[in-house]
Amino acid sequence: MNATPTLIDLHTHQSAKTGVWALQNVSLYDIENFSGREDQPLSVGLHPWKVRGNEDPDRLYEQLKFAAGYQQVIAVGETGLDKSIEMPLEKQEAVFRVHVRVSEKLQKPLIIHCVRAYQEILFLRKNLGAVQPWIFHGFSGSAQLARQCIDSGCLLSFGPAILKDHNRAVHSLISLGIDEFFLETDDSGLDIAEIYERAALLKQTTVEVLRERIAERFHKIIIQE
Ligand SMILES: [Zn+2]
């Protein structure tokens, strides 16, 4: 990453566009066949939707540790808990715990997909004594929940949900300080600039300021330089 702060897209399923520094998510099962640029920063993990329920935790740990050990992998995930799918939460949790172990072992942050399971995840963070940054991506919870996550040592990233009016994500974003969030496009295919413009408008600041502040925080907290 060069000295001039580019727009940082904290979580995307696409490869980065010009002028954008994007953390591209690749599934654990696809990493071997990843054909993108060698310097493309990646996060690797097993999405809760991809959990089969019969994973052997020790085997998964070794597999994930190996994949996440690649130099271009700078974060573990996305992983998480999702109460909107049929896969029992205990099965999802077993896989999530493996990601936490790898994240702590390799000292790489964790990207979290969470649907209606925030309390469970915050409990696990405390219970497991995890110290790596945990980032709830695509956050769209209430302002109160946003504060609770931050107070528990977690980070938040907002995506396309903030483009809608009268959305909970909008209210949460407005309630936060300018140094309390990241921005992302996720699987929307949108231009990250659009998300920055909207966030700047909601925060009554400029894209320039946001870009600098987010890049600075990103370096400090995620890259851990
Ligand atoms: Zn995603």
Q: How many helices (H) and strands (E) does the chain have?
A: 7, 8
Pairing of strands 134-136, 20-27: unpaired
Residue 167 makes CB contacts below 8 A (sequence gap 6+) with: 140, 161
Q: How far does the centroid of ligand 1 lie from the alpha carbon of residue 205, in Å?
A: 27
For residue 28, the CA-to-ligand 1 centroid distance in Å is: 13
d(CA 50, CA 30): 12
Kindly give, in sequence order, each residue whose CB lies less than 8 Å from that of residue 32, ignoring residues fewer than 6 positions away: none
State in Å: Cα 53 to ligand 1 middle: 20
Q: How far apart are CA 67 and CA 98, in angstroms?
A: 13
C-alpha 54 – ligand 1 centre gap (Å)? 23
CATH of range 7-223; options 3.20.20.140, 3.40.50.150, 1.10.1740.10, 3.40.50.970: 3.20.20.140
Q: What is the pTM of this model?
A: 0.95
CA 128 to ligand 1 centroid distance, Å: 24
Quote the ligand 1 centre to 111 CA distance (angstroms). 9
Write phi, then psi, for 83 (nearest 5 degrees): -85, 0
Kindly give the distance from the C-alpha atom of residue 77 to the centroid of ligand 1, in angstroms, as a whole number: 9
- What does each of the 225 residues of the chain score in pLDDT, given as a tens digit? 445 568 999 999 988 778 899 999 999 999 988 888 888 999 999 999 999 999 999 999 999 999 999 999 999 999 999 999 999 999 999 999 999 999 999 999 999 999 999 999 999 999 999 999 999 999 999 999 999 999 999 999 999 999 999 899 999 999 999 999 999 999 999 999 999 999 999 999 999 999 999 999 999 998 877
Contacts of 102 (CB under 8 A, 6+ apart): 61, 64, 65, 68, 76, 108
Q: How many CB atoms lie within 10 A of CB 110?
A: 28
How far is ligand 1, taken at its centre, from the CA of residue 51, in Å?
15
